[in-house]
A and B are shown apart, each in its own frame.
Chain A
Amino acid sequence: MNRFGSELEVHIASLRRYARALLRNPVDAEDLVQEALVRAVSRADSFQAGTNLRAWLFTILHNVHVNQVRSRAARPDEVPVEAVESRLTTPPRQEERVEVREMMRAVESLPDEQRQVLLLVALEGLKYDEVAEALGIPIGTVMSRLSRGREAVRAKLATDGSVALRRVK
């Protein structure tokens, strides 16, 4: 098939991982990706060949996320029971190593804006200008949030005891 298809698949896998890292809850994460894709389909005409598909998709995802957060804040949380159930039954991840748990906590303690930048850069490998495009902020802001986020995580891991932050093998 065309190259385009497999490129898209790679990006969607990346969107799903990012959404999971951002929201932590699998149900919410898949919902977010799904809603973003619905919007992407309806706006496919606005995508220009030769421009950055990945940045385009992440921009859409980010905008959907912002809207979701906003509308959730506006009304009390009303969700169907099934959704809650599956939320409750999300298996705890017990097999994790201490460092992983500490990292999880450190990332969760970050302000949203720093967490988003850190995840997009360090987990999804987006370039800084792609992050700027996706989040709709200047590149200088990307850099300062990245820097503050990384240092905050670093400080947190260092003070949370087991300084045994694994050195990259």
Chain B
Amino acid sequence: MSEYRVTDDDLHAYVDGHLDAGRRLAVERWLAEDAEAAARAEDYRAQAALLHEMFDSVLNEPAPAEVEDLAQRLKGRLAGNDNAPPWYSRPWMRSAAAVMLLVTGVAGGYLGRGAVAPSPALVEKGRSLQIFAEEATQAHRFYTSDDRFQVEMGADDPGALDSFLSQRVGRDIYGPDLGRIGFRLIGGRSLPTDTGAGAQYMYANDQGKRITLFVGNPVSGAETAFRFAQNGDVAAYYWVEGATAYALIGRMPKDELQGISKAVYDEVKSGRSKRQPQQEQQQPPADTQQRSGDGQPQEQPNPVQPVSDTRNKDS
């Protein structure tokens, strides 16, 4: 029994996704007892959803040329006094990480900010994954708020969708089957990201609730644990598995999304190991029914050369 007293501020922080696990639990315990507070939380979330519905279209409008220009200039100016990122995005600099830490430490007082300094490569990786998650979240907002153009290609033929997106991304990817948790694939699209082309798969359940799975290239291959990010009313789980980065996005409570992330993770894991040995064979059974059922004879999905390289690395 926790004696933690829940405040009004906690309720807001809960809605906005700013609580740590312990306090979140305390708030949820409270909400389970207090219907009035639960209704408030739900209304606050609904307000956020409406705000997004009202204004997310701005994100799809091109910025005026002046704004673009200024953004470029600002980028240049800031890069000048930014003593971190551009340096370690260069591979040869990574090997000189230790030297660089020293330099940055002396030059910028950068390290003085925290007691423990993570390695630049780690910082870099974390940031770029964060950016990946942000991009995935933005893409979710863009395309779930637009009924007409929500997908670039439908999922009537999942095999065709997968090979289309695989070609765009430059490696074998696929939208996992989430049927067992009630979400069906409705389609996907390819999008530019900070680390090359990415693919967005969109799913919907019977209530019309939509989630997107964003698949892309991580900056470095090492796998990571699940990470969580909340942006307004949109929640995201993201991780790296194999040589691929994933972000699962949805407008729903963190715990609900976590359950789905787990299902995606399992599907991707089992799918990868199941599919790989079969890659060169003809008709894989069971879970790939739809693709073999559509009568397409295993056509080579567009023989783009570099793809085979990435594929090999993938396995």
Pick from A21, A41, A48, A49: contact of B51, CB below 8 A: A21
Evaluate contact between B58 and A154: CB separation under 8 angstroms.
Answer: no
CB–CB B50/A166 < 8 A: yes
User: Of B42, B48, B124, which is within 8 A of A3 by CB?
Assistant: B124
The residues of A that contact B20 with a CB separation of less than 8 Å are none
Q: Could you tell me the dominant secondary structure of chain A's interface residues?
A: helix
The listed residue (A16, A50, A103, A168) touching B252 by CB distance below 8 A is: A168
Are A50 and B49 neighbours in the complex by a CB distance under 8 Å?
no
Number of interface residues of A (CB under 8 A): 57
Does A127 count as interface, using CB distance less than 8 angstroms?
yes
| Shortest distance between the CB of B113 and any CB in chain A (Å) | 6
Chain B residues within an 8 Å CB radius of A153: 47
Chain B neighbourhood of A5, CB < 8 A:
75, 79
Give the docked Cα–Cα distance between A121 and B12 (Å). 10
Q: Which of A7, A150, A166 contacts B12 (CB 8 A)?
A: A150
In the complex, what residues of A have CB within 8 A of residue B128's CB? 3
Q: Is A63 an interface residue, CB under 8 A from the partner?
A: no
Q: Which residues 63-119 in B have Cβ within 8 Å of A in the complex?
A: 63-64, 66-67, 70-71, 73-75, 77-86, 89, 108, 110, 113
- Give 1 or 0 for each of A5-20: 1 = CB within 8 Å of chain B CB: 1111110110011001
Asked whether A165 and B124 contact (CB < 8 A) given A17-B55, A34-B70, the answer is: no
Which residue on B lies nearest to A13, using beta carbons? Answer: B59
CB distance from A164 to the nearest CB of B (A): 10
Q: Which residues of A contact B53 (CB under 8 A)?
A: 100
* Contact in complex: A12, B71 (CB < 8 Å): yes
Q: How far is the CA of A10 from the CA of B108 in the complex (A)?
A: 25
Min C-beta distance of A88 to chain B, whole Å: 19
**Range of interface residues on chain B?**
35 or more
The CA-CA distance from A50 to B56 in the complex, in Å, is: 29
Q: Least Cβ distance of A163 to chain B in Å?
A: 10
B85-A3 in contact (CB<8A): yes
Inter-chain contacts of B86 with A (CB < 8 A): 2, 4
Q: Mark each residue of chain A from 41 to 75: 1 if its CB lies under 8 Å from any CB of chain B, else 0.
A: 10011011110010000000000000000000000
Chain B residues with CB below 8 A from A29, complex form: 58
B171 at interface, CB cutoff 8 A: no
Instruction: For the complex, give the distance between the alpha carbons of A143 and B194 in Å.
Output: 35
**A122-B232, A165-B43 are known contacts; what are 19 more A-B pairs with Cβ within 8 Å?**
A2-B89, A4-B75, A4-B79, A5-B75, A12-B63, A13-B138, A16-B59, A17-B58, A37-B71, A44-B80, A48-B81, A50-B108, A50-B110, A53-B78, A99-B50, A122-B47, A123-B52, A154-B40, A154-B47
Q: What residues make up the interface of A, taking CB atoms closer than 8 Å to B? A: 2-10, 12-13, 16-17, 20-21, 29-30, 33-34, 37-38, 40-41, 44-45, 47-50, 53, 96, 99-100, 103-104, 107, 118-119, 121-125, 127-128, 143, 146-147, 150, 153-154, 157, 165-169
28 contacts between A and B (CB under 8 A): A2-B79, A3-B89, A3-B194, A4-B79, A5-B79, A6-B135, A8-B78, A9-B71, A12-B63, A16-B61, A17-B58, A21-B51, A34-B64, A34-B66, A37-B67, A49-B81, A103-B47, A103-B54, A118-B51, A121-B16, A122-B51, A123-B52, A125-B230, A143-B12, A146-B12, A147-B8, A147-B9, A168-B45
